[in-house]
Amino acid sequence: MAKILVVDDEELLRELVLEILGRAGYECREASNGPDALKVIEECNSLNRICIASFSSDRLKKVNNAYPEVCLSMGPKEVVKLLLASFGLYRKKIPGNCLQIPIYQYGIKLVTQRFVDYVQSIDLKIHVWTINDVPTMQKLIDMKVDGIITDKPSELKKLNSVN
pLDDT in tens, 18-39: 999 999 999 999 999 989 999 9
How much is the pTM? 0.82
pLDDT in tens, 88-146: 999 999 999 999 999 999 899 999 999 999 999 999 999 999 999 999 999 999 999 99
Q: How many residues does the chain have?
A: 163
In 3D space, the residue among 103, 118, 109, 116 whose CA is nearest the CA of residue 149 turns out to be 103
Burial 105-131 (b: 16+ CB within 10 A, else e): eeeeebbeeebbebbeeeebbbbbeeb
Query: How far is it, in rounded angstroms, from Cα 101 to Cα 98?
Result: 10
Is the confidence at residue 163, as pLDDT, over 80?
no
Query: How far is it, in rounded angstroms, from Cα 139 to Cα 160?
Result: 12
